[in-house]
Amino acid sequence: MAAHFGMIGLGTMGRNFLLNVADHGYEVCGYDREPAQQKRLLDEARGKKVNAAFSLSGFLQSLQTPRIVMLLVPAGKIVDAVLTDLLPLVQKGDIIIDGGNSHFTDTERRYLQLKDSGIHFMGMGVSGGEEGARLGPSLMPGGNKESYELVKEILGSVAAKSDEGPCVSFIGNTAAGHYTKMVHNGIEYAMMQLISEVYSVLKIAGQFNNAELHELFSAWNKAELQSFLIEITADVFLKKDEGTGEDLVDMILDKAKQKGTGMWTSQSAMDLNVPIPSIDAAVTMRYLSALKDERVSNAALYSSGNSNSPVTKEQLAGLCKNALYFGFLLAYGQGLHLLHIASAQYYYGINISEVVRVWKGGCIIRSVMLNDLRKAYSQDSNLTSIISSPVFQPVLSNLRKDVADVLKISIDHHLAVASLAASLHYFDAFTTNRLPANLIQAQRDYFGAHTYERIDRPGTFHTEWESKPVAGAK
């Protein structure tokens, strides 16, 4: 019998996704350039309707038409290489889904390349890691609605389920799916950074040990911070290192790696002039973490911070919980603001409330906070920033003081809580009616005649500023 669904790329993600599709009653076939991967797939399939092909042409022959071919291969040149091999062998009406973390401009290019050929190309964000792929990921497909309709049933059956149904939806035109996944990852970077910052405050300023941190994060995961990232963090603090018997977290080198999706989010936000400083700070802190040797030698040159905490452990835990909530909210808010602007700029037609629904299950940034975000965007689909939403206004005003208290303690202890600080400054700037940017405008006009606007009448103005120093004069 011909298979309903094919997968190219049988690494863990590809194998798991394919087994997930098979679990839902579909016949599937997998192909990888590396024959050992086909064998692993068949070993893991155990009695399911799973086939493996050892040539690309054999793979394509095994699929019913129109063929549904998903790619889960590393983003970048490999996707283009696979497409080069694949395109001569597929036909009009077939559907190719790129499920990797491709850059949205690559997806746009590939979509346009195939647009007139009658071959459907979809860029689909897949979140949830290996376990998500196996048991239910959050799926963010983009391209065109017609293609989506052809795969909607399969995607709906394999996706994670939340109280609002399958965590998949047609996200929008061309590269909207991959753009949305990129923003998801930017938010993921910020949330992970914020958690690590609060960890440092609790550990250094609060003297919490790992067992206490486990207890605290487990308790947080039962209330308003409930989320995948808080849950796994609680688990991390419990894990022992088999070799040394120490807590594993303490044995891990403090250099955070990255594959670049957080950086792409920051780059795109800069291009679109959208402020997402909590995410930017998270990306930058990964770079700073990587400068380990320099950090170690610099540390010997400067004194370290104060070690007394002005508050009790219990008070500090309460402050950190609220600071984390505030930071998480603004990370989501900044990411969604970017998505809102990008959607308009690139004609994606993204429904933000629907994106929030898709993120409620299966993905790395899933949390109960998304219920309130969904409410805010359902009430106002044109909401630019969550700061102006009545759903969040009282929450953010109440939490501000606790965030400031955590920052003060961090500064005294020389702890770099860059993402949390960026969140507070973003909030303060975004809720201030007069920023000192008037002075920047004056300076620009002074040295470059760049002109300025006035507060009392419309127009652009230039001033011959008095007592201009002569360049080069002492």
Which residues are designated catalytic? 181, 188
Residue closest to ligand 6PG, measured at CB: 127
Whole-number Å distance between alpha carbons of 293 and 184? 31
Stretch that binds ligand 6PG, among 25-33, 123-131, 158-166, 384-392 (CB under 6 A): 123-131
Cβ proximity to ligand 6PG, 288 vs 411, nearer residue: 288
- Regarding 258 and contact with ligand 6PG (CB under 6 A), the answer is yes
Q: Which of 22, 53, 234, 363 binds ligand 6PG (CB under 6 A)?
A: 363
**Shortest distance (Å) from residue 130 CB to ligand 6PG:** 9
Cβ proximity to ligand 6PG, 101 vs 389, nearer residue: 101
- Regarding 221 and contact with ligand 6PG (CB under 6 A), the answer is no
Burial code of 227-239, b = ≥16 C-beta within 10 A, e = fewer?
Answer: bbbbbebbebbbe
Site residues (CB under 6 A) for ligand 6PG, limited to 100-119: 101
Q: Which of 32, 94, 98, 188 binds ligand 6PG (CB under 6 A)?
A: 188
Cβ proximity to ligand 6PG, 188 vs 445, nearer residue: 188
- Regarding 261 and contact with ligand 6PG (CB under 6 A), the answer is yes
- Regarding 259 and contact with ligand 6PG (CB under 6 A), the answer is yes
Stretch that binds ligand 6PG, among 122-130, 230-238, 299-307, 376-384 (CB under 6 A): 122-130
Site residues (CB under 6 A) for ligand 6PG, limited to 280-339: none
Phi, psi (deg, nearest 5) at residue 250: -75, -15
Q: Which of 66, 129, 156, 318 binds ligand 6PG (CB under 6 A)?
A: 129
Q: Which of 8, 158, 364, 407 binds ligand 6PG (CB under 6 A)?
A: 364
Cβ proximity to ligand 6PG, 67 vs 178, nearer residue: 178
Which residues are near ligand 6PG by CB under 6 A? 101, 127-129, 185, 188, 258-259, 261, 363-364
